[in-house]
Chain A
Amino acid sequence: MQASMQRRNRRGFIMMQILLALAAILTLLPVCILGTAALCRQTEFDHQIQDEIALAQLRRMLIIGDCLEISDARLDMEYQGEMRSLQQVNDNLVMKPGTLIFLPRIEDCHFRREGNAVLLSWQRNGIVQERVIAYAP
């Protein structure tokens, strides 16, 4: 009788532990999933910051550059005594001669002048962005 009671009590005790564990799992699982998803998003290649770093480097080259000529899809300039052009080649914004890639995986890009500012606009994943890249009085 006493042994039977003990066994029953023990079974119930284990069941309680399992229920507690399940409750804890169900409570913390969404938190873990959200945290992991956020971590995955964070470690993805961030185009926004990479683009800004590339544009900072491009701005520096354009500061040194001279005789800027702008057409819709192309920018020509004299850089260190040589002619260079900036244009879209396949999916990349490339400085030629050579293959110095500034903006990768873009769908479209245009140059335009607004006052003394030279603006570059590009489209990636359907989102159009525009930045000032040079000052050409």
Chain B
Amino acid sequence: MRPDRKGFVSLFFLTVLMLCTAVAGAVLANLCLRAESAENLCRANAYLGQESAVINAVQCSLKNGALEDGDYEAAGTAYTLELTEEGAIVQIRQPLPETLILDFRIEEGILNDYETIRFDDVSTRFSSIH
């Protein structure tokens, strides 16, 4: 009786197919994560750009002793400044809405650090950056 060896080729194909699928899946997942990293970096740099403009203006006012509550505009970034006991809260309205919590030594005119609260809307990610 002839042995039935038809399954041999199928098993081989299944093994190779699974290997190829696993490799292709891993490569694709890696590429997706890289693209996401690049997108996040692009967004982080866009935020840093506006934060830089606002903080430069705030530092300038701080050193000149002219830091007051109010609505301001610096390098195309519109923001509202509100002084607090430990520093200030800056609400950036446009181009990318976010809140900065500034911590500074007002007597010495030194900015210690700042925190950000970003209103990240995934649906407008690409349109808001470019």
Question: Do chains A and B stick together as partners?
Answer: yes
Q: Is A56 a contact of B24 with CB atoms below 8 Å? A: no
Q: Is A24 a contact of B16 with CB atoms below 8 Å? A: yes
Total residues of chain B contacting the partner, CB 8 A: 36
Q: Output the least CB separation between B21 and chain A (Å).
A: 10
Residues of B contacting A17 in the complex (Cβ-Cβ under 8 angstroms):
5, 8-9
Q: Output the least CB separation between A66 and chain B (Å).
A: 6
Given contacts A42-B30, A64-B55, contact A80 B112 (CB under 8 A): yes
The answer for the CA separation of A98 and B97 in the assembled complex, in Å, is: 35
Which stretch, B33-41, B65-73, B87-95, B121-129, touches the partner chain A? B33-41
Q: Output the least CB separation between B105 and chain A (Å).
A: 7
**Interface residues of chain A: helix, strand, loop or mixed (majority):** helix
Given contacts A42-B31, A46-B34, A56-B41, contact A21 B12 (CB under 8 A): yes
**Interface residues of chain B: helix, strand, loop or mixed (majority):** helix
Residues of A contacting B44 in the complex (Cβ-Cβ under 8 angstroms):
56
Given contacts A39-B26, A64-B113, contact A24 B52 (CB under 8 A): no
The answer for the CA separation of A24 and B23 in the assembled complex, in Å, is: 18
Which residue on B lies nearest to A27, using beta carbons?
B16
Residues of A contacting B110 in the complex (Cβ-Cβ under 8 angstroms):
66, 78, 80-81
Given contacts A56-B41, A56-B44, contact A35 B20 (CB under 8 A): yes
Q: Is A36 a contact of B23 with CB atoms below 8 Å? A: yes
Which residue on B lies nearest to A43, using beta carbons?
B30
Q: Is B20 a contact of A31 with CB atoms below 8 Å? A: yes
Residues of B contacting A81 in the complex (Cβ-Cβ under 8 angstroms):
105, 108, 110, 112
Q: Is A10 a contact of B2 with CB atoms below 8 Å? A: yes
14 contacts between A and B (CB under 8 A): A21-B9, A21-B12, A32-B19, A32-B20, A39-B26, A39-B27, A46-B34, A49-B37, A49-B41, A59-B45, A63-B51, A64-B55, A64-B113, A78-B110
